[in-house]
Structure 1
Amino acid sequence: MEIVIKLSQFLLSLSLLIILHELGHFIPSKLFKTRVEKFYLFFDVKYSLFKKKIGETEYGIGWLPLGGYVKISGMIDESMDKEQMSLPPQPWEFRSKPAWQRLIIMLGGVTVNFILAFIIYIGMAYAYGDSYINNESIKDGIWVTNPVVENAGIKTGDKIVSIDGKKVERFVPSVSMDILMSKKVVINRNGEEKEIDLPVNFIGKILDSNKKGVITIRMPFVVGTFTDTSKNTLAVKPKDIIVSLNGVAIKYFDQAAVILKANKGKKIAAVVLRNLKETPVTVEVDKEGKLGIFPGSLKEDNLEKLGYYKFTQENYSFLESIPVGIEKGKNQLIDYGGQLKKIFNPSTGAYKGVGGFAAIYNIFPDSWSWEVFWSITALLSIMLGVMNLLPIPALDGGHVIFLLYEMVSGKKPSDKFLENAQMVGFFLLITLLLFANGNDIYKAIVGK
C-alpha cells in the first residue's frame, strides 16, 4: 500500500507538471493561429495508450513516462519531421509566424511552470501558514547528524548564527540545505562566535558518506521500534522517553551514545518517562554499545509540553499570503540556480547527487500528505522551468537562443542548421538522462 501511495503521488505530480507545461506552448500557439498536431502526456513511441482527435489536434497518453510534448506544425523539434519541413511554408505553421510570436510560444511552457510554483507557494502560505522555531530559543544548540559536517568544524551543541553572512532568524528544515550550499557558517560555541569555512567539495563529501542529512534540532531519546536482536523489548516500551542511563541524566538522544559506548555488553540502570511518569528499568547494552532500539519521534505539541522547544505558528490572510508565497518562490528559484551552479562545477562534487526518475520518486513520502505533495510539486515545477531554460538545442532554452539571435541580427538560422542543432541537443539530453538515471542505479547498488 505504501508503494501505491508513493507511486500515485509521483505520477500525479509528474502528470500535472507535464500537462500544464505543454499547455503553456499550446495556448499561445492557438492564440496566434498556429496548428498543433499532437498534445501528449508521456511519449507515444510506436503506439499510445489512448488517443482522440478533436479538431486539428490529436490528444493522447503515451506509454513511456519520460515527459510529454506538443507537436506544432512547421517547427523543428524532437519529431524531426523533415518531410513537412521540405514543403513550402503554410500560414498556420510555426515557421511562418513572426519571431516575437514564436518566442512567446517557446517561453510559454516555462512561464507556466514558474507561475504554477508561485501559485502553489501562495496557496500553501494561506492554507498552512509557517511553523518554525525561533533560532535564539534553541538554547542547547543543534544536532550534527553527519560526520562530514563534524569534520568540517560544526559540532553538536553549536548554535547556528549566520550562513554566508545571512543571520538565521528562524530554524526550519531548509537551514540544513542552506548549510549544504554555503561557504561560511558562523556558530556560537560556549558563548563564543566562530567562523567555519566549509571546503569546496563539502557537498561531494556529504554525498560520499553513508549518512543522510546535515543538521537538525536535538531530539529526546524516544523508543520507536526494536531490532530483531534487541534484548530490551520487555524493559522498555514504544513511546517511552529515556531520560537517564547509568545514573546520568540525558535530555537528548545524542547524549546517550557516549554512555552506551562506555558500557558495552553490560546491564545498566535507566529511567524512562512513561505516561509522563518516571519509571526505573534495567537495560542491556550490546557489544556494539547499542540498545537495539530504533528512535521514534514526537509531534510538535508534545515537544512543547515536555519543554524542549517552542514552535511558532504564523498564519496569513489571503492578501498576506501573496507576498509570503512570492518570497518563498523567489528564494526557491535562487536556491535552485545556486544548486545548478555547483552541479556544473566538478570541484564541488555536487554532480554526484544528480538523480533521475528514481530520485524524484523517492522524494515523495510513503503516506499521503497534501502539504508535502504540493511542496514537492512546486519545487519540481521550478526545476522543470529552469532546466528547460538551459541553452541546449532541443530544450525550450535552445529554441529561445536561436530566436533571440534572429530578432537581433535579422537573420533566421537555416532549417539544416536547426536540424543539426536539434540532433546535438537530443544527444546531450540523452547523455544527461543516462547519467542521472545511472546515478540512481549506482546508489541503489551500493546502498547510498
Structure 2
Amino acid sequence: MAVFALFCVLLGGAAVSKEAVPAWKDVWEKAGKYETEQREEDISRDAAAGTENEERTGPDFRLYAQSAVLMDGDSGRILFGKNESDIHPMASTTKIMTCILALELGNGDDLVTVSKNAASQPQVHLGAPSGRQFYLKDLLYSLMLESHNDSAVMIAEHVGGSVEAFAGLMNQKARDLGCTDTYFITPNGLDASGTDTEGKERAHSTTAADLARIMKYCISESPKKDEFLAVTGTKAYTFSDAEGKGTYSCVNHNALLTMMDGAYSGKTGFTGGAGYCYVGALEDGEKNFIVALLGCGWPPHKTYKWADARALLQYGMKNYEYRNVWKDVEIPEITVENGIPEDGDISRGMTVQAEVAVPEKAGPEEQKNGGESLYLLLREDEQPDVRLSMKKELEAPVRRGDTAGKVEYELNGRTVAAYPVVVKEDADPITLKWCMEKIAELYLE
C-alpha cells in the first residue's frame, strides 16, 4: 500500500495544465478498492479528524490541499485562496454537476436502464447488472451519498443520450457559470483526457475557484437547488430497483455533516490522479460559506480534507462578520444639452437632479440589503472603496429614471456592489414648435 501511495503521489500529485493527464485505469480500480475497504472504518472516525487544525485561523495557515478556496456563499467572493486558479483533476466532486443537471433536465420518476457500459464501471459502484432498471430519483442518492460510478453513467446516458453528449451539457453549464478553467469528460470524475471542441488536449479538471462557483450554483441559484440540498443533506437512504429484485442502502460519506454544526451539503472525491478532494457548504447564523479542496493528500491520508475544511471554515467564522458599509454619496446636477428649463430661459442652460437608485428591502431582517443598507461579509481590516462615475452631460429628451451613472463599492480591486444613478426629473427638448411659440409670445406681449 505504501508503494501504491507513493506511485499515486509521483504520477498524480502535481497540478495539471490544460494539457492532458494519463487516464490510469489500473489506478482507478486500485483506488476504488482501497476506498471501499477503508470506508466503514473512516465513517466512524472522520468526525474526530481535523482537530490538529483548529488553531490555524490566520490567512497564512498551512493547508494540506494543493489548491483551496473559502468562498462567501452569498456574494461568491473568495475570502481565502491557495493556488485557487491552478488546474487539477477533481475526482467525484464532479458529481455535483452531474446531480444538478439530472435534477434540471430529468424527471425523478423516469425509469433508467443499466447499460453494459454503466455495469462495467470500476468501484466504487452500485453493482447492478445490465438491463436492470431504477428510478432516476433513487440513482441520485446512489450518486451523491455513496458516489457510485455506475450510477453516474446511468444518469448521463439517460439524461444526455450518451456519456459524451452529457459531458457536453456539463461543459456548457460550466461556461454559463463563467467556469472557463473547468473541463468535463466523465460524469463520475474518473481521471480522463480528451480533445475539446477547439481541438486542444485537455484533462478532466477544474480549479478550486471554479469548483466553489459550481457549488454556489447548485445550492443557491439553480431552480432545483432545494432538491439538490435534500439529496446531499440526507444521512442515509434505501431503495429498490423498479422490479424489486434487489435492495440498496446508501450512507452519506460527507462526514462534515456531523463534524461541524451548520454543515448542510457537500461531496467527497478520490482518484489516483486527483488525490482526495472535497467541496461543501456551511451556514453560521447569517453567514454562508463554501469550501473547495483539490489534491488534499493521497492514501493513507484520507482525513486531511476534513482537517483543511475545518480550518478554512473556522477561519471564516472567526474572522468575517456582516457590516453595513452604505455611504451617502453627493450626486451633482447634470447638464442637459438642448433642454428646456422650467422657466423657459434657455440662455442659462439646463441641469437636472439625479439620485442613487436604492432598492427596496427584501424583508424585515436587519441585515437585508436595501434601503440605505449594504451589508457585506468582511474582515475587521477590510473597508470597500466607493467610486462615483457619471455622464458629463445628457441630451434632451431626458426622462425621470433614466440612467446617468453608477456608484460602485470596490474591495481589493473588484466590484462587490453597484447601484445606478438615475435622473429625478424630465427634460423636454428644444424643438422648432417650441421656438415658434416663444417668438409668438414675445410679439403678442
TM-score range, shorter chain: under 0.3
Report the TM-score when normalising by structure 2: 0.21
Report the TM-score when normalising by structure 1: 0.21
**Higher helix content, 1 or 2:** 1
